Structure 1
Amino acid sequence: MTGSKAFRAALAASVFVAAPQIARAAEDQSARIADLQRQVDELKAMVLALKAAQGATPATTAAAAPATAPAAPVAVQPVQLAAAPAPSAPPSVPAPEKKKAWYEKLQLRGYTQLRVNEIVSGPKSAPSGISRLRSVQDSGINDTGNFSIRRARLVVQGDISNRVSLYMQGDLSAAVNNQSGTEPRQHFFQMRDAYADVFLDKKKTLKLRLGQSKVPFGWENLQSSSNRIPLDRTDAINAPVPGERDLGAVLYYTPLRVQKIWDELSHDGQKLFGNYGAFALGVFNGQGTNRTERTGGLMTVAMATMPFRLDGLGLDGQVAEFGFTAMRNQVRPEVRSGGVSTLSYDDNHVSVHGMIYPRPFGIQSEWTWGKGPQWDAATSSIQAKRATGGYVMAMYRMPETPVGQVIPFARWQKYRGGWKGATNAPRLETDEYEVGVEWLPLKELEVTLGYANVHRNEADERRTGRAKGDLVRAQVQWNY
């Protein structure tokens, strides 16, 4: 009994002595666990920050506490860290797009045509009063001409806004005549186009064109010289609007289904007349390109043209186009005595056009009827007289050959009427047969070779008769 009491007393004494030590060990262990938890939290924060900086999605990470033996005999359960939830990626906010200034939207392009003409038969020169072999379409056809720059165009175009675009074109090959001396000056920079298009609807089917631009008369007149297959326009279609341009305003309308057909033809590489609308109504000064208005009246012009798919006729992929143009005008031509006529002359014309775009064979034709100023030899004066003529052209388009696109063509033209673009509006009598080929070895380069049998009078009322002969011609055009 005595021994049992002694044992309980000793045990109580040992517990009393060990109690502070056990308490200190428990406190030390709790501190170590808290410190480990803090380090793990800091490590997790660093990993998440690093992954966010790299743009990666943080992966679920289970971090275990490092195994550290407890210093006290108190059993400690290992701490399990819950997996950190993957933070959702912040929504991507696109950087605000900087609005371009209008001058940053402009495009600079152009083309140059180098020509050579050779009269192989017919009168290169003739005595005074007799017609020589000449053409109102190309002054390079003469007795001494070799190489000439037919056109050297620079175009600036672009959108000023969603509703307004501009177009400016100049020609570096223009000539200036009637100076103090008799020799003309070549290669002046002359304005050809300077206009703005104002779109009146969001779909851009209706637009108002303001400034100097092409007069919508004649399909061939509207087609760019850089896009035309033969070297020159025909006399009959060009006579109502020599130079093709005037100062005024035009309203153009193009239905979306029509624009879709033209876009498909353009994508196919067809040579279109440009985006001049399916319907047009315009008013102009009426005196011609870069000429001062003289009559005080306005020239009115209307045009309609419509493409049709011929798939229903068994001509899959073929497209035809038909239309008409009309103009009403009063004009005062230049006169031999100097200056401009004091009298105004009726200058009214209508024309029709039709074509089948070459796939691979195509045909194109236009004809015009009207009345315009014309020199009358019987009365030695200018009178408003009948003018009529046109052309028919056939072509065969081979877009993919080993040497590039090749388009052979043949054209016949005829015209009887005045040429108001020359002094005293001389009468022209033109009959011409032409065959040639256009070759595009590169997109940026075109080569055209042609032969023409010509029977025409010279555009000078002081020379009589008609000259007959043959021409061989060539042109190289580079686009930029």
Structure 2
Amino acid sequence: MSASKAFKAALAATVFLSAPQIAAAAEDQDAKIADLQRQVDELKAIVKAMQAAQAAPQIAAAPATTTPLAPAAPVATNPAATAPTATPVALASAAPVEKKKKAWHEKLMIRGYTQMRLNEIVSGPKNAPAGVSRLRSVQDSGISENGNFTLRRARLVVQGDISDRVSLYMQGDMAAAVSNQSANESRQHFFQMRDAYADVFLDKAKTLKVRLGQSKVPYGWENLQSSSNRVPLDRTDAINAPVPGERDLGAVLYYTPPKIQKIWDELTQDGQKLFGNYGAFAIAAYNGQGINKVERNGGLMTVAMATVPFRLDGIGLDGQVAEFGVTAMRNQFRPEVRTGGVSTISYDDNHVNFHGMIYPKPFGIQAEWTFGTAPQWDRTLGAIRSQRASGGYVMAMYRMPETPIGQLIPFARWQKYRGGWKSAINAPRLETDEYEVGVEWLPLKELEVTLNYANVSRTEADERRTGQAKGDVIRAQVQWNY
């Protein structure tokens, strides 16, 4: 029943009850009329309150259900009793509905990316006699005598905040290969764990956090940058050699001052390719044997990193940002040996890395260099020993974020490395010199295409093969993000 009908019904009931009194006492007619007018005014006030509160129909109908047997006069003539009745109705109707708090699993996000490649050796030794190096790369097993299509990565990430102070991150790769199968044939596309860690924030501002689990080792800027963000197809041998696979099992303390985080946030909004969710300063301890491997000695690998961005507005490069940093690593490592199993001897595996860059806007430059000692096969002794390892790269790029066909980033990179590759059997020595040019094209946010040409001079990562394999390689990659 509407508020208007309720008013009419209540008014009729009041008139009906008052009629006998008017007939019996005509002399009090004026007083009764005044009393009726007061009752009408009170009923109008009740209806107005009900309309303002937008009461439910069943609540609005309540005054009309009053029968003549019920004492209507107190309801109509006692404003003090009427007012409290209307107030709870208004409060109940206007009370906000409390939203249900999300469970931790409802806060998780699933994302990932897949990279499909096509590699072709256009000149140089695709194959070679025993003992002679072939044109190969420790960064991509798809560079081979057969080439054709390969899945370089197929990553799936689950991440999210499970509370105000704890977040989780898990990443697997569905394109991992498993070797040492029947007749030494590799099996492709196994699901392998890459990351499995939790971040525990030690302050409300989230500037200080502890990362626990299997995660990237903060050694080298290029190692920390996700392969989904990197402009060239692969990391360089020199920077990747201290931590092949980029990850290990341990704990890291990260700290990022708000001023530095603000610069990184602005770079992210601008579309720059940063190195990811890491700190400006880090201290870490890991097992030190590498990703998904059993620890082989009682020592810990310790790492310390610092990287700081600077605005270049003061020197005439308005809007551009430079970043410089240093990393140090100390470790004892036991490589696999050809006679079977893992070495019983721990070798010094200590490195220092320097990195610097100017983010492209539109022109940019990036460089890193590493020095240290690492396990390496000694041909003279016929054994592994710790020897010098050094190398790095310099890369120039030009970013064009808005063209008629999407974002374009042409680039050119030179890299060099002299040292052991500890994750291969017997830690063979690598001698790498490589020049490459290419372009990354983003026609869509979800799609990236990279074309690359490289002039290569490498030793193969096999201590039984010698000499430099020289040649040219053309490569293409399509990456789709989800």
TM-score, scaled relative to structure 2? 0.86
In 2: Cα distance, 1:284 partner to 1:182 partner: 32
In 2: Cα distance, 1:312 partner to 1:419 partner: 43
Cα displacement (A) at 1:35: 4.0
In 2: Cα distance, 1:37 partner to 1:370 partner: 98
Pair 1:445–1:373, CA change in 2 (3 A): same
Cα displacement (A) at 1:105: 1.0
Give the letter for the 1:398 counterpart: M
In 2: Cα distance, 1:318 partner to 1:293 partner: 43
Q: 1:436 aligns with which of 435, 438, 456?
A: 438
Q: Which residue of 2 aligns with 1:263?
A: 265
In 1: Cα distance, 2:209 partner to 2:453 partner: 41
Question: SS of the residue aligned with 1:422?
Answer: coil
Q: Which residue of 2 aligns with 1:26?
A: 27
Equivalent positions of 1:343-354 (< 5 A) are: 343-354=345-356
List gaps (5 residues or longer) in structure 1: 1-21, 56-84
Q: Which residue of 1 aligns with 2:97?
A: 95
Q: Which residue of 2 aligns with 1:73?
A: none
Count residues with an aligned counterpart. 430
Q: Which residue of 2 aligns with 1:157?
A: 159
In 1: Cα distance, 2:241 partner to 2:104 partner: 38
2:204 paired with 1:205: no
Q: Percent sequence identity over matched residues? A: 74
Q: 1:387 aligns with which of 365, 375, 389?
A: 389
CA RMSD of aligned residues (A): 2.1
Q: Which residue of 2 aligns with 1:120?
A: 122
Question: SS of the residue aligned with 1:341?
Answer: coil
Cα displacement (A) at 1:133: 0.6
Higher-helix-fraction structure:
2
In 2: Cα distance, 1:351 partner to 1:244 partner: 14
In 1: Cα distance, 2:126 partner to 2:236 partner: 21
In 1: Cα distance, 2:477 partner to 2:423 partner: 25
2:468 paired with 1:470: no
Q: Which residue of 1 aligns with 2:198?
A: 196
In 2: Cα distance, 1:181 partner to 1:465 partner: 27
Cα displacement (A) at 1:100: 1.6
Q: Which residue of 2 aligns with 1:214?
A: 216
TM-score, scaled relative to structure 1? 0.86
Pair 1:276–1:44, CA change in 2 (3 A): closer
Cα displacement (A) at 1:326: 0.7
In 1: Cα distance, 2:51 partner to 2:254 partner: 61
Q: 1:369 aligns with which of 371, 375, 395?
A: 371
In 2: Cα distance, 1:436 partner to 1:54 partner: 70
In 1: Cα distance, 2:434 partner to 2:382 partner: 28
Q: Which residue of 1 aligns with 2:53?
A: 52
2:70 paired with 1:105: no
In 1: Cα distance, 2:468 partner to 2:481 partner: 37
2:241 paired with 1:245: no
Cα displacement (A) at 1:182: 1.9
Q: Which residue of 1 aligns with 2:39?
A: 38
Q: Which residue of 1 aligns with 2:298?
A: 296
Q: Which residue of 1 aligns with 2:64?
A: none
In 1: Cα distance, 2:347 partner to 2:305 partner: 23
Cα displacement (A) at 1:42: 2.8
In 1: Cα distance, 2:95 partner to 2:350 partner: 62
Q: Which residue of 1 aligns with 2:380?
A: 378
Cα displacement (A) at 1:270: 0.5
Equivalent positions of 1:327-338 (< 5 A) are: 327-338=329-340
Q: Which residue of 2 aligns with 1:449?
A: 451
In our comparison, the structure showing a higher alpha carbon Rg is 1
Cα displacement (A) at 1:176: 0.9
In 1: Cα distance, 2:285 partner to 2:33 partner: 95
Deviates most, 275-284 or 37-46: 37-46
Cα displacement (A) at 1:208: 0.6
In 2: Cα distance, 1:209 partner to 1:144 partner: 42
Give the letter for the 2:42 counterpart: D
Give the letter for the 2:103 counterpart: A
Give the letter for the 1:118 counterpart: E
Give the letter for the 1:440 counterpart: L
Give the letter for the 1:478 counterpart: W
Deviates most, 264-273 or 43-52: 43-52
In 2: Cα distance, 1:40 partner to 1:308 partner: 74
In 2: Cα distance, 1:93 partner to 1:142 partner: 70
Q: 1:233 aligns with which of 222, 232, 235?
A: 235
Cα displacement (A) at 1:180: 4.4
In 2: Cα distance, 1:360 partner to 1:135 partner: 31
Cα displacement (A) at 1:33: 4.9
In 1: Cα distance, 2:311 partner to 2:206 partner: 23
In 1: Cα distance, 2:450 partner to 2:190 partner: 25
Question: SS of the residue aligned with 2:184?
Answer: coil
Cα displacement (A) at 1:421: 1.0
Q: Which residue of 2 aligns with 1:138?
A: 140
Cα displacement (A) at 1:179: 2.9
